[in-house]
Structure 1
Amino acid sequence: MSTAPAARRPAVLYVTDYSYEARGRRYSDEDVFLSRRMREEFDVEVCHPRDAAAMLDGFDAVVIRNSGPVMYYQEAYDAFRARARELGTAVYNPLDGRGDMAGKQYLVEMSRAGLPVIPTVDRAADLGLLPRAAEYAVKPKAGADSVGLRFTTDPVLPEGSDGTFLVQPRIDFRYEVSFYFIDDDFQYALYAPDTERRWVLEPYGPGPADLEFARTFIRWNSLAHGIQRVDACRTLEGGLLLVELEDLNPYLSLDRVSEEVREAFVARMKTSVRGVLA
């Protein structure tokens, strides 16, 4: 009596940079854990973001995780995106994200639309739209991890930099809080009660208004699948303002949540990755 061959497991290329160093975070630990758990259901091979374009053949999906700021390997990232589209390879997160995946123009667009975001402009003609503040943050639109960030007492853009730099008032806040989603499903929230130690995170129990705030940006981005992190600050007046919508490779701080929450996240991520393969 013959038996049917076992169904082939989907092959997943897991993109990360184990060597990338970030203050207060160990990217490599998180990805060693997640890639190991993904192997429970997928055939997984790990590669560096600079090698991803050349390795796409033969994989059913690509999972982009802690691959570091794209600005450090922009040419390789552009080649990867072009090759993935050429081959029709499923990418997780999908390549049509409107948040940090596409640069920080979304902060300008959201500010113009009146969404609850730190007021942001990118043109000298619009500097007068910013509220008065003791200091202003000036940073490159394509930047990451505070690269190129500087503070000024007046809202000014570098000469000739219209459209390439952002200017925001420096906001006084009580704490920063992050909301983590898979697809449209809220997973957990973490916050930094000490503003001087922003990566010393603790579990945060969001109320209904907090979750509706975060969901506003998940709906705005309209990603069909993927992991997103909504970073916000709690103002002195008590409201929340968006700091960043990370939809490319958000660090998850899984070492800061309970085992129960971590296991639920892993199970939901597996289901979500299977969804991009459907």
Structure 2
Amino acid sequence: MPPARPRVLYVTDLAYPARGRRYCDEDIFLTSRLRDDFDLALCHPRDAAALMTAFDAVVVRNSGPVLEYQDAYDDFRRRALAEGTRVYNPLTGKADMAGKQYLLDLTAAGHPVIPTVDSADDLHLLPEADRYVVKPKIGADSIGLRIVPADGVREPAGGDVLIQPCVDFAYEVSFYFVDDDFQYALYAPHTDRRWQLERYEPTDGDLEFARRFVEWNDLGHGIQRVDACRAPGGELLLVELEDLNPYLSLDALDETGRDAFVAAMKASLHRFLATEA
């Protein structure tokens, strides 16, 4: 008999209405290819905790903002950690997986991030700006994000939000990694069309910038997206480090690029299952 193939529970919300993106198309494509190597079933994030014990690993992909199902996610996370369930990405992520506190920590440590504080008393630590971005500490997909004028920033500046200067950036660029290996980069050359992405050829300096955050997170296995903006001075600043369920924009790649990503993800999952076992 041939050896049993690993059983993978693939967590996705195929009906999530993402702005400018179709999560379902990406996951339909990925699962169609992963089935070559794994016995695979799809489920909604609300069902993951109840189903996961029947599988060798749980792959969390385009499952939408956790805020939409916070209780179910908390239960899934608690049970997975207690039972030693293999979850990909691993639940040890220090970035968006754990909220936005990391932006404060990275700012305090002097990393190249958009300067961030969480108190009106600390506004003096930020560069002066005409406008500020105010967003929830626990948030995703721009939910609750506001841009406020300088004379109104103190009003919403409670301890449950983050405050950043509104950076007049040239463009946003994202770097995609599987494990510690860089895969591709995409950017939005038009600032008013965030999800009209094109292939971006990073410089050595760009990759050094992105890798420092992947190394800081120290996941070991999994998929991460480093989102950055090109600041007026030409430097890159971190916008966010997505380590829970980053959308991959695979539709912006050609067939060769998509094939390469699938091969990298398959190899990563096989390594993950072998190592964690």
**TM-score interval, normalised by the smaller of the two chains:** over 0.9
Report the 3-state secondary structure (helix = DSSP H, G, I; strand = E; otherwise coil) of the residue aligned with 1:52.
helix
* Residue 78 of structure 2 is aligned to residue 82 of structure 1: yes
Aligned equivalent of 1:243, options 239, 242, 246: 239
Q: Which whole-Å CA distance do the structure 2 matches of 1:122 and 1:276 have between them?
A: 36
Distance 2:167 2:120 in 1: 20
Native 8 Å contact 1:15 1:47 kept in 2: yes
Alignment partner of 1:139 out of 108, 112, 135: 135
Partner Cα distance (1:187, 1:57) in 2: 31
Residue of structure 2 equivalent to 1:158: 156
**Structure 2 counterpart of 1:257, one-letter code:** L
Q: 1:157: Cα distance to partner?
A: 5.4
Contact 1:156-1:167 at 8 Å conserved across structures: no
Superposed, 1:116-195 pairs within 5 Å as 116-154=112-150, 155-156=153-154, 158=156, 161-162=158-159, 164-195=160-191
Amino acid at match of 1:36: S
**Coordinate RMSD, CA, aligned:** 1.0
Distance (whole Å) between structure 2 residues aligned to residue 236 and residue 211 of structure 1: 19
In structure 1, give the amino acid aligned to 2:108. R
Residue 196 of structure 1 is aligned with which of 176, 192, 199?
192
Segment of structure 1 superposing worse, 141-150 or 95-104: 141-150
* Aligned counterpart for 1:23 among listed residues 16, 19, 23: 19
Shift in Å at residue 243 of structure 1?
0.3
The residue type paired with residue 82 of structure 2 is E
**Match for 1:67 among 63, 70, 93?**
63
TM-score, normalised by the number of residues in structure 2 = 0.96
1:86 Cα deviation from its structure 2 partner: 2.4
Task: Please report how far the alpha carbon of residue 124 of structure 1 lies from its aligned counterpart in structure 2 after TM superposition.
Answer: 2.7
Q: Take 1:57 and 1:235, find their aligned partners in 2: how far apart are those partners?
A: 46
Q: In the TM superposition, what is the alpha-carbon distance from 1:228 to its structure 2 partner?
A: 0.2
Amino acid of the residue matched to residue 261 of structure 2? F
Task: Mark the runs of 5 or more structure 2 residues left unpaired by the alignment.
Answer: none
CA drift of 1:146 comes to 1.4
1:227: which partner in 2? 223
Matched, 1:11 2:3: no
Partner of 1:54: 50
Letter in structure 2 aligned against 1:67: S
Q: Percent identity?
A: 65
Which amino acid counterpart does residue 114 of structure 2 have in structure 1? Answer: I
The one-letter code matched in structure 2 to 1:256 is A
Once residues 85 and 153 of structure 1 are traced to their aligned partners in structure 2, the CA distance between those partners, rounded to angstroms, is 43
Q: In the aligned structure 2, how far is the partner of 1:24 from the partner of 1:152?
A: 24
User: How much does 1:123 deviate?
Assistant: 2.0
Q: 1:221 to 1:55 in 2, by over 3 A?
A: same
TM-score, normalised with respect to structure 1: 0.96
Kept after mapping to 2: 8 A contact 1:12/1:62: yes
Residue number among 240, 244, 255 corresponding to 1:259 in the alignment: 255
Tell me the distance in 2 between the aligned counterparts of 1:258 and 1:236: 31
**Contact kept in structure 2, 1:190 and 1:202, CA below 8 Å:** yes
For residues 230-275 of structure 1, give each alpha carbon's deviation from its aligned partner in whole angstroms, at most 9, with x where no partner exists: 0000112211000010000000000101211111110110111112
Segments of 5+ residues of structure 1 without an aligned counterpart are: none
Structure 2 counterpart of 1:86, one-letter code: A
For 1:97 and 1:156, how far apart are their aligned partners in 2?
31
**Aligned: 1:269 with 2:268:** no
